[in-house]
Amino acid sequence: MARTLEPLARKIFKGVLAVELFGVFGAYVLFRKMDTSQDFRQTMSKKFPSILEVYYKSIEYSGMYGIRQQDEEKWLNNKS
């Protein structure tokens, strides 16, 4: 019985591993896009503010401060 389940277990493991890698790659791409584009961060603030908050927290945790303030300042000046 164990021999017949082994190929199925390998397929499931490979599928789970592929999903995990895809998720990590997607998170990296999203972070890089937010890190390099203030316009994209503004779009994220309108559509997904919780994700943008995680970005700001991670940047501040790494010791880089002021990005949130720069964004808010620019966005307020653009509205005027």
At 2 the pLDDT is 53
Q: Kindly report, residue by residue over 25-68, the tens digit of the pLDDT.
A: 999 999 999 999 999 999 999 999 999 999 999 999 999 999 99
At 3 the pLDDT is 66
| Number of domains present in the structure of the chain | 1
CA distances for 51 relative to 33, 34, 58, 71, 77, angstroms? 13, 10, 11, 15, 23
Residue type, 80: S
**Residue 30 belongs to what domain range?**
4-78
At 20, give phi and psi (nearest 5°): -60, -45
